[in-house]
Structures are given as structure tokens and as C-alpha cells.
């Protein structure tokens, strides 16, 4: 009824390999795109600026991590460090006089180089050992940032980002920042949507499922792992640079510390490995829910006139938030993306499947 | 017609009353975006409690210029992203004075506050060079910078050694990240100037393992140990000092050491330990006693009484006395309602203000947003804190050289 389908019946390969197998999905994507474009005009600036914007940038970053963890199956615990490389190299490039467009690409490339250099060393090991090696990269990066004033910018290790300017246009308004974030997130999403239709995407999945089985099929698993690391690092680098350029306005080591790495990984896992829409949901849950629950609890206690100590008040949202993650993963271990998929599959041919039963 | 006129008149009167009451009830708000759940919980409950108590007391006395004051406390969990959200949300509600008590969040809010022309109070946290009011127009780190504190520690040691540091060895033990590294530069400068030997002992976070650092200290045997660590770090340090037979009176801590840490070290064992501070330690402070009398004895305190028996409560009272005193000055100078501009003028007219003997007197000017950066050294005598020096701001020329050098990088 909702999808106006009685089932999905492909009759040729072209229709099977479309991005959207079902017209309703395409319509929904178009609807989201319109909402996204119209957001500055329909969403109050507080929510645009402190919820939508970080949500979109982190989604782009999480999609990058999903590429290496979800698609290629390589656990990565140093993702924030890669974002830091991108952010710092882009800012230094701009301060040196390079225009932002090129600086963003420099940031992405620098991140890709460092990320895949590490992957070269790291990929000699697998699984948990690889995870630990990437964690080592995170710690090395933390150390470098806190010990080199030349990179981190001196006093309390903070580096001011010059004003963002794209295509000769200085960007200073909330709306402008939003569109930059939106554009980047859209770009990454389109890339990821198409990835699963390409040979590269299929090779990555083959490597994830069993790397030597993939090797027997003629897929060079080492090459594809490196490629996955490099691509995801590029996305991380640009996302990191944009995060600083449009949201933080200055880079500090705490913004890219080890708990941020864990957070991005949590976004990907809670959202669902190798699920694109799941990444959107996962980022929303990990990034935005604490703040939302916080203000909800504050206003509820105010509305009820209950006198709760500020400290207790601060810990209740954390408990709710933690419980929320556990409950979601109990209901659906494959994450929010799969949860959405279940609902979608149920409604796909409803109510005709009920008749069949 | 007559009836209609009456109705209109009544409406107009009601409207006038409504608008009148709403402008009268508009309180002076302070946005207290604090970390109440993660890294800063060793101090944030006491300080926020002090802020709320002080607001209550001021409202009991009739507010500022007849208007009530309000502190809005929110948790940001030490995450820059949530701090920015707190700042954006509250600033849309008309708040223009913010305090974060968190270096990462303060750093994250700073560019926005500068852009939006809102006051960012950041006593004891955030970038130290923000005392330079010519560059950081809207940022007020009233209180000492870590550079100033370290310089004052050296000045105290110089007093102990009768003005000659030439054959004195001073050790500096610190958490090996920006907070702990900050004083190193100024200590090196002063070592050159005064001729003492400076020894550095970095400790990895979270500071639970300091064994190697302290056995090195035992070998080097410095005359004094200046410590830039937080809460639990002091406790571990004291254990290591006992193990290595290093007397406690060599230890001079940064201001982040409170009664909880003393309790964990053991009140007896901590005898002789010293601390640099910009507020008066102990419980016999006029303002605190007034709080107990007016609020806690009547059961109206904003939290447990135990939190008030803590130097961080005193710190909170000092920080918020400054914030409200500036508002009072602003109302005096430029009338109500207080705006960001008039509040700024209020802050910059604070002169030798010490909140009734609560803290080092401060004088905020348009150039010096730190208020002079005076501290003193206090010693734990087994029961309470005993001052060892007067309030002082030593080597201010050297400190300001560092400040200017650092702030000029921001101005670029």
C-alpha cells in the first residue's frame, strides 16, 4: 500500500543494478534531498547550527569509516587521528596562502597518505591486531599534536582556522556553513550509494567475507584493503577539515582524541555496518541524543517542579542514553539501519503478504 | 461607544501591565555550561553549587538594581560539540555571560563569543593568553593564568631562599598534555634569569602511574617540586613521595587541589603540602559563613553542606562574586537592562575587588582581563590552610612577554 508494490520483480540486469530498487525509495530520497535543501528556511537557526550541521559532517565522516569497517571489514580505532591529519594540514595550507578549495583536497590527500601509510604496516596483521595497530596510530597522533607547537598552534594547543571561502565567496553565515556541510555529505552519500554497484564495492565485500577466498577469485585483497583505507582516509581528512572550518572554527587535540575515535566507531556500529541510511541514524543517536535528552530531562524536571541536584540531572541523561544503545542493539544487533530495513520490508507489500498468510 | 472605550482602556491597561511586568521580571542570566558528568567533576559540582547559592543570596537581598539574577546550569560532558550547543541555545534565550569551566569547551566557544560579542568568563581554564584584552576583547579569564601562577611559585621559593636561587634545584612534575606543559616555557625563562636548575618530570595521563618519575626525583633530589596535576594525580604523587622518602613540604601544587585530595592523602600525612591559590582556603571566610547562616541553616542550600567545606566552593564563590559584582557595576554605570556592552564596562571598572576577603584583590582593565593575576602560597598544617605569603603577582613583565607573544599568534 505504502510502496504500491506487490513484490520486487526485476526483469533485467539494468533494473537490478539500479541505486533504488523500489520507486518509493527513490521518492523518499528525493524528499529528503528537498528537505535538506530547504532546511535553512524551515528549521530554526539553533537546530540548523548546532544539530543539523554537525550531524551532516559527522555522517560524512562515519560513512568514510563505514567504507573501511563495514564494507572492507577492517576494524579501525584511529579514525579521529586521520581526521586530525586532514584538519591540521588543510588549516596550515590555508594559513600558508592556499585557497580553501585546494586546501581541502590537500587535507584529504595528506590524510589519505598518512592513513594508508599506516595501513601498509598495519595490514600485515588482521582482526584484533589490526585494531590495536590503528589504536597505536591514534596515540601517536595525540602525542604529536600535544608536543609540537608548530603543528598544534601554541597556547593550549589550539589553531585558529581562517574564514572559509569557496569559489571566491567568503562564507560566514549559518546558512552558508550548512550548505557546505550539506554538499559534502551529499557528495559522500552519492559516492557510497554507487560504491556497492561497482567492481570495487564487490571486491571490498569479497575481501570482508574471506580475504583468501577473495584471493582465489583473483581479487588482490592487500591492494583493495589499502585502497579502502586510502579512500576512507580521504573522506575523513576532508570531513575533519570541514568540521573545523564550519563548526569549531579552531582545531584542538581534544576534538580528535581517542574517545572521538571510539565515538565514530560507535556511530557506525549502532547505525549498522555497511548501511548508508544506518550511518545517518547512528550519528544522530550518538551525537545528538545526549544533548536532546539533556534538555528534555532539564525541562521535564523544571515543568514538574522537582528539585533535583544539577549533578544528578547531568547523570540521568547519560543513563538514558546508555540504556538506549543497549536496547537498540538487543532488539537489532545489526543496528538502526537494519531496524529501518525491517520496517521497510514489512510494509513493502503490506497488506498483500497478510493475505498470503 | 462608552462601553467600547472602557474595554479599550482596560485592554490597554492590561497590555501596559503585562509589558511592564515582563521587563521587570527579566533577570540577569549567566549561562553556566559545565561538565557535570565527565572529566571536571572533581570541581564542577562545588563551583556550580556556589554559583546557585550566590544567586539565591543576591535575590534574597533584592537582586541587582531590583532585578533578580539567575544562573542556568547545563551539562556539556566536556564535549566541545555539546558546549557549542549549550552556548547557542542559551544565547538565543538572551544570555550574554557564559562560563564553561572546561578548557576544550572554552576553546570551542571562544571564536563564537568573539564573533557574537558575548562575554566569555573563563577563570582558571582555557587559553591563558586571553588575559590580553587588546586581542581577546570579549574573553575574561579573571584570576591567575598558569604562567602567572608558576611565576608566583618561583617568587615564593626565592623568598624561602632569601632572594638567591643560584644553587637551587627546582623540579617540575606535570601531566604531559597542554594543561601541564603550559608553565614550562616561563619556568625555563625564569631559570635563565634567576640561575636555578630546572628539572622536568612528565607524567603520562591519567597520572595513576608516577613510579618512574618519582624515583628519578629521588635521584636528582631537587629542593622543591612544583606540581601541575589534577585531583587523583596529587594522591598518587603523595604515595610515591612517601615511598621515596621525599618530605611533603617540598610539594607545591597548582590551584587544583582540594579537601577531597587532602582526605585521600590523609590529613596528617599531607602536613606541609603547599598550594598556589587565588582564593582563601578554609571555612572561616565571611561570604561562606554568610551562606551557611542565610541558606544552609534554613535548609535552603543548593546542594549538600559537605560540598561547601571545600576550597573549590570558595573558588566558585569568588568566580561568581566577580560575575555579579560586574553586573552591579554595569547597572550603576549604564543602568538597566544590562547589555553585553554595559556588562563589559562593568567588568572593566572592577578595582581592588576582593569579594569581602574571599580572594586576591583584582583590578580588571581593558588591557588586562586577568585582573592582575595575584596568587599566594598556602600550606596545609594538618587541619587547615595557612597562608605563607601575601597576595603577589611576580615577574609580571616576563609573564606578559609570554602572553603577548602567544596572543599575537591569535591576532594573525
pLDDT tens track for B66-80: 889 999 988 888 888
Distances (CA, A) of B191 to B157, B197, B301: 12, 6, 47
Name every chain A residue with its beta carbon within 8 A of the beta carbon of B112: 249
Is the pLDDT at A104 greater than 90, yes or no?
Answer: yes
pLDDT of residue B21: 41
Q: How far is A249 from chain B (nearest CA, A)?
A: 7
Beta bridge partners of B97: B119
The DSSP-derived string for A237-262 is HHHHHHHIIIIISEE-GGGGSHHHHH
Name every chain B residue with its beta carbon within 8 A of the beta carbon of A313: 36, 75
Q: Which of A154, A255, A318 sits opposite B80 (nearest CB)?
A: A255
Give A187's DSSP letter: H
Confidence of residue B95 (pLDDT cuts 50, 70, 90): very high
For CA atoms A253, B73, B114, B94, the dihedral sign is: positive
Q: Which of B82, B88, B104 sits opposite A254 (nearest CB)?
A: B104
Q: Which of A146, A249, A298 sits opposite B74 (nearest CB)?
A: A298
Q: Cβ A160–B103 below 8 Å, yes or no?
A: no
Strand bridging mode A165-166 / A169-170: antiparallel
Cβ-contact B72, B320 below 8 angstroms:
no
Strand bridging mode B28-34 / B97-99: parallel
Name every chain A residue with its beta carbon within 8 A of the beta carbon of B303: 309-311
B147-277+377-396, what's its fold?
Rossmann fold (3.40.50)
Name every chain A residue with its beta carbon within 8 A of the beta carbon of B295: none
Residue with cell 563548526: A247
Q: Alpha helices, DSSP H only, in B230-307?
A: 232-243, 259-265, 286-294
**CB proximity A140 to B under 8 Å:** no
* First CA to last CA distance, chain B: 69
Q: What is the percent of chain B where pLDDT is above 70?
A: 93
pLDDT of residue B177: 83
**Spatial distance between the Cα atoms of A90 and A98, rounded to a whole number of angstroms:** 9
Q: Cβ B85–A309 below 8 Å, yes or no?
A: no
Name every chain B residue with its beta carbon within 8 A of the beta carbon of A154: 406, 409
**CB proximity B200 to A under 8 Å:** no
Strand bridging mode B28-34 / A165-166: unpaired
Mutation choice for B interface testing from A92, A284, A297, A311 by most B CBs within 10 A: A311
Q: How many helices (H) and strands (E) does chain A have?
A: 18, 4
Q: Cβ A155–B410 below 8 Å, yes or no?
A: yes
Q: Which of A157, A160, A254 sits opposite B410 (nearest CB)?
A: A160
**CB proximity B45 to A under 8 Å:** yes
Name every chain A residue with its beta carbon within 8 A of the beta carbon of B177: 146, 253
Distances (CA, A) of B189 to B53, B148, B150, B192, B225: 42, 13, 11, 5, 17
Q: Cβ A156–B103 below 8 Å, yes or no?
A: yes
Confidence of residue A216 (pLDDT cuts 50, 70, 90): very high
What length does chain A have? Answer: 357
Is the pLDDT at A289 greater than 90, yes or no?
Answer: no
pLDDT of residue B343: 93
Confidence of residue A101 (pLDDT cuts 50, 70, 90): very high
Comparing A280-294, B208-222, B245-259, the range with the smallest average pLDDT is: A280-294
Helix axis angle, B44-60 to B286-294, nearest 10°: 70
The DSSP-derived string for B128-186 is GGGGBTTT-TTEE--S--HHHHHHHHHHHHHHHTTT--TT-EEEEEEESSHHHHTTHHH
Q: How many CB atoms lie within 10 A of CB B34?
A: 30
pLDDT of residue A25: 85
* First CA to last CA distance, chain A: 17
Interface of A with B in 221-260 (CB under 8 A): 247-250, 252-255
Q: Cβ B127–A253 below 8 Å, yes or no?
A: no
Tell me the domain boundaries of chain A: 43-257
Confidence of residue B238 (pLDDT cuts 50, 70, 90): very high
**CB proximity B408 to A under 8 Å:** no
| Mean pLDDT taken over chain B | 88
Q: Cβ B108–A154 below 8 Å, yes or no?
A: no
Cβ-contact A271, A337 below 8 angstroms:
yes
**CB proximity A17 to B under 8 Å:** no
Q: How many helices (H) and strands (E) does chain B have?
A: 14, 12
How many angstroms from the chain centroid is the CA of residue A136? Answer: 21
Class of residue A327 by CB neighbours under 10 A (exposed 0-12, middle 13-18, buried 19+): exposed
Mutation choice for A interface testing from B72, B81, B86 by most A CBs within 10 A: B81
Cβ-contact B277, B304 below 8 angstroms:
no
Q: Which of A147, A155, A160 sits opposite B406 (nearest CB)?
A: A155
Tell me the domain boundaries of chain B: 28-144+283-364, 147-277+377-396
Class of residue B336 by CB neighbours under 10 A (exposed 0-12, middle 13-18, buried 19+): middle
Q: Cβ A154–B409 below 8 Å, yes or no?
A: yes
CATH number of B28-144+283-364, picked from 3.40.50.1970, 3.90.1170.50, 3.30.70.1450, 3.40.50.2300: 3.40.50.2300
Name every chain A residue with its beta carbon within 8 A of the beta carbon of B407: 155
pLDDT of residue B25: 54
Confidence of residue B190 (pLDDT cuts 50, 70, 90): very high
Interface of B with A in 277-306 (CB under 8 A): 303
**Spatial distance between the Cα atoms of A333 and A336, rounded to a whole number of angstroms:** 9
Minimal Cα distance from B205: which residue of A?
A: A143
Is the pLDDT at A357 greater than 90, yes or no?
Answer: no
| Mean pLDDT taken over chain A | 88
Q: Which of B291, B273, B290, B301 is nearest to B384 (CA)?
A: B273
Q: Which of A48, A52, A56, A80 is nearest to A240 (CA)?
A: A80
Mutation choice for A interface testing from B35, B50, B71, B75 by most A CBs within 10 A: B75
Which carries the bigger pLDDT value, residue A348 or residue B323?
A: B323
In this predicted model, what pLDDT tens digit does every residue of B351-379 receive, in sequence order?
999 988 899 999 999 999 999 889 999 99
B254 grid coordinates: 597548582
Q: Which of B49, B34, B120 is nearest to B347 (CA)?
A: B120
Size of interface A-B (CB pairs under 8 A): 105
Beta bridge partners of A267: none
Cβ-contact A35, A47 below 8 angstroms:
no
Q: Which of B85, B108, B177 sits opposite A248 (nearest CB)?
A: B108
Name every chain A residue with its beta carbon within 8 A of the beta carbon of B81: 50, 54, 247, 287
Q: Alpha helices, DSSP H only, in A97-173?
A: 100-122, 127-147, 149-152
Beta bridge partners of B31: B72, B98
Minimal Cα distance from A296: which residue of B?
A: B74
Name every chain A residue with its beta carbon within 8 A of the beta carbon of B136: none
Give A162's DSSP letter: P
ipTM value: 0.86
pLDDT of residue B20: 40
Cβ-contact A256, A141 below 8 angstroms:
yes
**Spatial distance between the Cα atoms of B298 and B293, rounded to a whole number of angstroms:** 8
Comparing A159-173, A343-357, B114-128, the range with the smallest average pLDDT is: A343-357
Name every chain B residue with its beta carbon within 8 A of the beta carbon of A294: 74-75, 82
In this predicted model, what pLDDT tens digit does every residue of A136-152 receive, in sequence order?
999 999 888 888 878 87
Q: Which of B73, B80, B126 sits opposite A156 (nearest CB)?
A: B126
Minimal Cα distance from A58: which residue of B?
A: B81
Q: Which of A60, A62, A70, A66 is nearest to A186 (CA)?
A: A60
In this predicted model, what pLDDT tens digit does every residue of A190-205 receive, in sequence order?
999 999 889 899 999 9
In this predicted model, what pLDDT tens digit does every residue of B277-321 receive, in sequence order?
999 988 889 999 999 999 999 988 888 898 899 999 999 999 999
Which carries the bigger pLDDT value, residue A164 or residue B330?
A: B330
Name every chain A residue with its beta carbon within 8 A of the beta carbon of B72: none
**CB proximity B128 to A under 8 Å:** yes
Cα Rg of chain B, angstroms: 23
Which carries the bigger pLDDT value, residue A291 or residue A173?
A: A173
Amino acid at each position: 500500500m505504502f510502496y504500491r508494490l506487490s513484490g520486487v520483480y526485476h526483469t533485467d540486469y539494468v533494473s537490478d543494478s539500479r541505486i533504488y530498487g523500489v520507486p518509493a525509495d527513490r521518492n523518499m530520497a528525493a524528499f529528503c534531498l528537498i528537505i535538506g535543501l530547504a532546511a535553512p528556511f524551515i528549521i530554526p537557526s539553533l537546530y540548523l547550527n548546532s544539530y543539523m550541521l554537525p550531524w551532516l559532517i559527522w555522517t560524512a565522516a562515519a560513512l568514510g569509516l563505514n567504507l573501511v569497517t563495514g564494507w572492507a571489514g577492517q576494524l579501525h580505532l584511529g579514525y579521529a587521528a586521520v581526521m586530525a591529519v586532514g584538519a591540521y594540514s588543510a588549516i596550515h595550507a590555508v594559513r600558508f596562502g592556499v585557497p580553501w578549495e585546494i586546501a581541502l583536497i590537500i587535507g584529504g590527500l595528506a590524510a589519505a597518505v598518512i592513513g594508508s601509510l599506516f595501513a601498509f604496516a598495519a595490514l600485515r596483521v588482521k582482526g584484533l591486531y589490526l585494531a590495536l595497530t590503528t589504536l597505536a596510530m591514534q596515540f601517536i597522533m595525540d602525542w604529536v599534536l600535544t608536543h609540537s607547537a608548530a603543528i598544534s598552534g601554541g597556547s593550549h594547543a589550539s589553531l585558529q582556522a581562517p574564514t572559509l571561502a569557496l569559489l571566491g565567496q567568503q562564507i560566514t553565515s549559518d546558512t552558508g556553513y550548512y550548505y557546505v556541510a550539506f554538499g559534502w555529505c551529499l557528495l559522500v552519500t552519492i559516492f557510497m550509494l554507487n560504491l556497492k554497484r561497482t567492481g570495487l564495492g564487490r571486491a571490498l565485500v569479497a575481501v570482508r567475507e574471506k580475504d583468501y577466498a577473495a584471493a582465489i577469485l583473483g581479487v588482490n585483497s592487500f591492494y583493495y584493503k589499502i585502497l579502502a583505507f586510502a579512500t576512507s582516509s580521504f573522506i575523513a581528512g576532508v570531513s575533519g577539515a570541514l568540521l573545523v572550518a564550519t563548526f569549531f572554527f579552531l582545531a584542538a587535540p581534544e576534538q580528535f582524541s581517542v574517545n572521538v575515535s571510539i565515538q565514530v566507531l560507535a556511530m557506525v556500529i549502532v547505525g549498522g555496518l555497511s548501511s548508508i541510511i544506518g550511518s545517518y541514524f547512528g550519528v544522530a543517536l550518538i551525537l545528538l541524543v545526549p544533548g536532546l535528552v539533556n534538555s528534555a530531562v532539564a525541562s521535564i524536571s523544571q515543568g514538574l517542579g522537582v528539585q533535583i541536584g544539577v549533578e544528578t540531572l547531568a547523570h540521568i541523561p547519560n543513563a538514558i542514553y546508555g540504556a538506549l544503545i543497549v536496547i537498540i542493539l538487543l532488539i537489532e544487533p545489526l543496528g538502526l539501519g537494519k531496524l529501518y530495513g525491517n520496517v521497510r520490508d514489512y510494509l513493502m507489500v503490506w497488506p498483500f503478504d497478510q493475505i498470503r498468510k | 461607544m462608552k462601553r467600547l472605550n472602557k474595554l479599550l482602556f482596560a485592554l490597554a491597561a492590561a497590555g501596559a501591565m503585562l509589558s511592564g511586568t515582563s521587563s521587570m521580571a527579566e533577570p540577569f542570566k549567566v549561562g553556566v555550561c559545565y561538565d557535570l558528568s565527565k572529566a571536571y567533576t572533581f570541581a564542577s559540582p562545588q563551583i556550580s553549587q556556589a554559583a546557585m547559592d550566590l544567586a539565591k543570596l543576591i535575590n534574597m537581598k533584592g537582586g541587582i538594581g531590583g532585578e533578580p539574577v539567575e544562573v542556568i546550569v547545563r551539562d556539556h560532558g566536556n564535549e566541545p560539540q555539546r558546549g557549542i550547543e549549550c552556548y547557542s541555545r542559551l544565547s538565543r534565550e538572551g544570555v550574554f555571560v557564559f562560563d564553561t569551566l572546561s578548557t576544550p569547551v572554552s576553546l570551542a566557544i571562544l571564536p563564537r563569543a568573539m564573533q557574537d560579542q558575548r562575554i566569555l568568563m573563563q577563570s582558571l581554564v582555557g587559553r591563558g593568553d586571553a588575559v590580553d584584552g587588546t586581542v581577546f576583547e570579549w574573553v575574561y579569564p579573571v584570576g591567575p593564568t598558569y604562567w602567572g601562577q608558576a611565576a608566583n611559585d618561583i617568587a615564593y621559593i626565592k623568598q624561602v631562599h632569601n632572594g638567591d636561587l643560584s644553587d637551587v634545584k627546582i623540579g617540575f612534575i606535570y601531566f604531559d598534555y597542554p594543561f601541564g606543559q603550559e608553565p614550562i616555557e616561563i619556568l625555563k625563562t625564569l631559570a635563565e634569569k634567576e640561575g636555578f636548575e630546572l628539572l622536568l618530570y612528565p607524567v603520562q595521563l591519567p597520572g595513576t602511574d608516577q613510579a618512574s618519575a618519582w624515583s628519578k626525583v629521588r635521584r636528582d633530589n631537587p629542593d622543591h617540586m612544583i606540581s601541575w596535576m589534577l585531583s587523583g594525580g596529587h594522591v598518587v604523587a603523595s604515595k610515591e613521595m612517601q615511598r621515596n622518602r621525599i618530605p611533603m613540604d617540598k610539594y607545591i601544587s597548582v590551584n587544583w587541589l582540594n579537601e577531597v585530595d587532602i582526605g585521600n592523602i590523609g590529613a596528617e600525612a599531607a602536613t606541609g603540602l603547599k598550594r598556589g591559590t587565588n582564593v582563601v582556603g578554609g571555612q572561616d571566610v565571611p561570604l561562606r559563613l554568610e551562606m551557611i547562616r542565610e541558606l544552609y541553616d534554613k535548609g535552603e542550600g543548593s546542594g549538600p553542606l559537605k560540598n561547601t567545606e571545600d576550597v573549590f566552593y570558595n573558588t566558585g564563590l569568588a568566580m561568581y562574586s566577580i560575575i555579579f559584582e560586574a553586573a552591579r557595576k554595569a547597572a550603576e554605570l549604564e543602568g538597566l537592562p544590562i547589555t553585553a556592552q554595559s556588562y563589559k564596562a562593568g567588568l572593566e571598572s572592577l578595582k581592588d575587588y576582593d569579594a569581602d576577603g574571599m580572594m586576591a584583590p583584582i583590578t580588571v582593565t581593558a588591557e588586562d582581563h586577568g585582573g592582575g593575576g595575584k596568587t599566594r602560597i598556602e600550606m596545609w598544617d594538618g587541619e587547615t590552610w595557612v597562608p605563607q605569603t601575601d597576595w603577589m603577582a611576580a615577574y609580571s613583565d616576563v609573564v606578559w612577554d609570554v602572553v603577548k607573544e602567544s596572543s599575537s599568534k591569535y591576532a594573525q
